[in-house]
Structure formats: C-alpha cells, structure tokens
Amino acid sequence: MTRLQAARDRNGNPFVINSAHRCGLHNARVGGAPLSQHLKLAVDISLKGHDRHILYQNCKEAGFTGFGFYTSFLHVDLGRRRHWFGNQKAKQLWQIY
C-alpha cells in the first residue's frame, strides 16, 4: 500500500484499481494463475486517463518489481523482477522491452 500510494503521489492523479488481493476461491473463479501474486499483493491499475509509460515509470520508481502489460491495465506486484504481456495486441500497444 505504501508503494502504491508513492506511485500515485508521483503520478499526481487517482488510480482506478481493477483487481488487488484475491482469496484462493476468487482467484480460481477468475482464471488467475494458481501461484498468482494476487494471492499476496498485486494490483491491476486501469490505464484509463493515464499516459501508460508515465504510469509504468512511476510504479517502477515506487519500488514495484513485477509488471504485466495489458491493453486496459497495468499489473504491478512485489514478486521477483519480471514482466510479461497480456497478449500480442498489448505488446504492440506498449512497445516496451
């Protein structure tokens, strides 16, 4: 939460959170990965109203280490350093890495 607030402070505008902590049952129901970081703390931030690259930069500077790039949201977590794309369209949209 501290990192999330730090990212929001840097960004200077509100975050709309699509998904955050999930219990095991909910994670299974929404088709989340069995070892999903959403079972610990992961947050999906809606891209609506944001410059996605500035949002990503601010989350990185706030200390998040895991990033999932999607067409409508940015997934951030504190798991091991890694990144992935939701699909090919997301990869084209982000044009990063």
Is there binding between residue 75 and Zn ion (CB under 5 A)?
Answer: yes
Is there binding between residue 74 and Zn ion (CB under 5 A)?
Answer: no
Is there binding between residue 22 and Zn ion (CB under 5 A)?
Answer: no
What Cα–Cα distance (Å) separates residue 95 from each residue in 52, 79, 89? 11, 23, 10
9 vs 84, which CB is nearer to Zn ion? 84
Phi/psi at 82 (5° precision): -165, 170
Q: How far is the CB of 48 from Zn ion (least distance, A)?
A: 16
* Stretch (H or E) spanning 58: helix 52-61
Closest CA to 66 of 84, 82, 89, 43: 82
Binding-residue pattern over the window 28 to 47 for Zn ion, x denoting contact by CB under 5 A:
--------------x-x---
User: In 3-state terms, what secondary structure has residue 96?
Assistant: coil
Count, residues near Zn ion per rule CB under 5 A: 3
Is there binding between residue 56 and Zn ion (CB under 5 A)?
Answer: no
Q: How far is the CB of 15 from Zn ion (least distance, A)?
A: 13
67: how many CB neighbours lie within 10 A of its CB? 20
The site for Zn ion (CB under 5 A) is made up of 42, 44, 75
